[in-house]
Homo-oligomer: A and B are copies of this chain.
Amino acid sequence: MQPLQIQNSLTRKKEVFKALNSPHVGMYVCGPTVYSNVHLGNVRTFLSFDIIYRYLKFIGYKVRYVRNITDVGHLVGDTDEGEDKIGKMARLQKLEPMEIVHKYTNDFHDVMRVFNILTPSIEPTATGHIIEQIASIEKIIDNGYGYEVNGNVYFSVRTFSEDYSYGELSGRKIDELMSNSRALDGQSEKRDPLDFALWKKADETHLMRWPSPWGVGFPGWHLECSVMSTKYLGDRFDIHGGGMDLKFPHHECEIAQNVAANKTENPVGYWIHGNMLTVNGRKMSKSEGNGFTPEELITGNHQLLKRGYSPMTVRFFMMMGHYASTLDFSNDALIAAEKGLSKLTNAVEALGKLEGSSELNKDVDVAELSQKCYDAMNDDFNTPMLIAILFEGVKWINSATDGRISLSKDQISALKSLYSDFVNDVLGLSSEASENSMTGAEGNEDISTNLLDLLVELRSDAKANKDYAGADRIRNTLSNMGISIKDGKDGSSWSHE
C-alpha cells in the first residue's frame, strides 16, 4: 500500500505523513468568524478538513482536532484598522456582541450538522483565551520581537526576520514585501509597514475589551490561532489547515508569532490549504449576487438555482473535486452529482439485498479495489479518485443485481464492508434521513419503508388480479413522489429515483 502523502503548503511538496507522536495526531483548522451566516466557501473548507479528519481516524490515528471560533479581534477588511466585525454587527443589529456570537455560532453548528461534518475535539473561542493571549504577547516582547506604542502592541517583522525566516509559507521574500508595501504616512505608530498588531487599545465606545499590562484593549486577529493551537496541541503539532485566503497574512503571522513566543522553529509539520468555490466560473461573492447560502442551495430559493439540492448531494458534489482545486458551482454540475450519488446509494442498497453464490467470481478482485481506494485517499486525500474507484465496483454490483454476473458470499461481504467504510465512514455520506437517533427522523424513514413495501405488494396483487388500472395508479402516484417501482425476476421493489 502507498503510505499517506500530503501536499504540504509550506514546502510545496507532496510528503509522506509522519506524525510527531504517532498514533496521536494534532490538527488545527481556522474556524469561522461568527458575525454572519456561514457561507458556502466556508462549508467547503470545513468539509475538506472533515474528510481529512475522518480518514486519519479511519486509518487508526487518534486525532485531537481543534477548530476555533473567532469571536473578537477580526477587523473589517482583515487588517489592523477598522471596526471589529462582530462589534459592527452588534451595533447594526442593536444587540450585545455576545448575542451576535451566540446567534451565528448556532447557525454555523446547524449548517455543519446538516452536511454531516463531524464536530471537532475542541472548539475554543478567542474571548475564552484572553489571558493566554496576553501571556503570549509578553513572551514575544520579552524575546525582543514585539513593542508597545500608546497602548498598542505590534509584532516587529523586520527584527524577527533578522533571526528567523519570514514569508516561507506564502513564498514571499521579506525585502520584496518591504519594498512593495506602502510607506508609512508618518501618522502610523508602526516602525515598519509589515508590522502587525498583537494587542489593540480600545476606547470607551469599544464593546469588547479587557484589561492588560498595556491598558484596556483587545487581541489582534492573528494571535488567537497561535495561542489556542499551541495551548491544546503543544508548541509543535502535526497539521494546520484553513482556506487558501488565510495563507497570507494570517498563517504567515501565526508562524512568526509561534516561533517568536516559543522559539520553536517549524511549529507545524504540514500546512494544508483548501481552495475556493466559483459559481459559473466566477468567484463567489455577496457583492456579485452569486453568493448563495447553504440554506438557499438546499431550498433552491435563489435566482441562480433551478431548484434545491439535498445536503448529501452538495456534500457529494464538493467531494467530486479535490480539496486543493477550485470547484465550480452550476446547476448542471449539481444535477450530475445528484445522479451520481443516487447511482452510488442505489448500488449500496442493492448490495445489501444480494445473495451470493458459493463460487468465487475470478473477474472480480475486491481486494484490489479496496487497495485502490486506500491508495486514492493516501494520495493527498484524493476524493474524486476515490469516487471513480467506487464506481468501478458499482458496475459489478449492478451486473450482479441484473443477474449478468454472480458473486460469492465472501465477495459480497467484502464489498459490503468496503462500501460501508468508504461511503459512510470516510466520505461521510449519511442517509439523508438518519440525522439523529433521538429526533424520530429514523422512525419516519421506517414508516415510509413499511408503507412503500405494502404498496408494492398491493400493486403486485392488482397485477395478478389483472387490475392494471389499480396497479398503474400506485406506480404513477409513487413516480410523482420520486419513487420508482422496478419489476425483477424475484418480484418488484422500490427505490428513490
Q: What's the minimum C-beta distance from A81 to chain B, rounded to whole angstroms?
A: 25
Q: A142 in the interface, Cβ–Cβ < 8 Å? A: no
Alpha-carbon separation in the docked complex, A186 to B101 (Å): 48
Alpha-carbon separation in the docked complex, A120 to B102 (Å): 8
Contact, CB under 8 Å: A102 / B128: no
Contact, CB under 8 Å: B299 / A437: yes
Alpha-carbon separation in the docked complex, A454 to B98 (Å): 50
Contact, CB under 8 Å: B106 / A122: no
CB-CB < 8 A to A474: which residues of B?
454, 458
Alpha-carbon separation in the docked complex, A136 to B437 (Å): 44
Interface string of A443-467 (1 = CB under 8 A from B): 1110110111011001001000000
Binds B, one of A152-160, A278-286, A428-436: A428-436
CB-CB < 8 A to A438: which residues of B?
110-111, 114, 294-295, 298-299, 311
Interface string of A116-140 (1 = CB under 8 A from B): 0001111111011011000100000
Contact, CB under 8 Å: B131 / A210: yes
Contact, CB under 8 Å: A433 / B440: yes
Q: With contacts A109-B109, A474-B458 known, is A441 near B447, CB below 8 A? A: no
CB-CB < 8 A to A440: which residues of B?
310-311, 432-433
Chain A, 53-69, CB within 8 A of any chain B CB = 64
- Give the dominant DSSP class at A's interface: helix
For residue A451, which residue of chain B has the nearest CB? B451
Contact, CB under 8 Å: B433 / A441: yes
Contact, CB under 8 Å: A232 / B98: yes
Q: A179 in the interface, Cβ–Cβ < 8 Å? A: no
Number of this chain's copies in the complex = 2
Contact partner, A211, options B64, B135, B444, B445, Cβ 8 Å:
B135
Contact, CB under 8 Å: B122 / A96: yes
Alpha-carbon separation in the docked complex, A173 to B119 (Å): 49
For residue A444, which residue of chain B has the nearest CB? B444
Q: A215 in the interface, Cβ–Cβ < 8 Å? A: no
Contact, CB under 8 Å: B131 / A106: no
Q: What's the minimum C-beta distance from A102 to chain B, rounded to whole angstroms?
A: 5
CB-CB < 8 A to A96: which residues of B?
64, 121-122, 232
Q: With contacts A128-B128, A311-B438, A477-B450 known, is A121 near B109, CB below 8 A? A: no
CB-CB < 8 A to A122: which residues of B?
96, 98-99, 101-102
Alpha-carbon separation in the docked complex, A293 to B127 (Å): 33
CB-CB < 8 A to A21: which residues of B?
none
Chain A, 288-309, CB within 8 A of any chain B CB = 294-295, 298-299
Contact, CB under 8 Å: A121 / B102: yes
A-B residue pairs in contact (CB < 8 Å), sample of 9: A64-B96, A96-B122, A99-B121, A127-B128, A131-B131, A295-B438, A441-B444, A448-B448, A451-B481
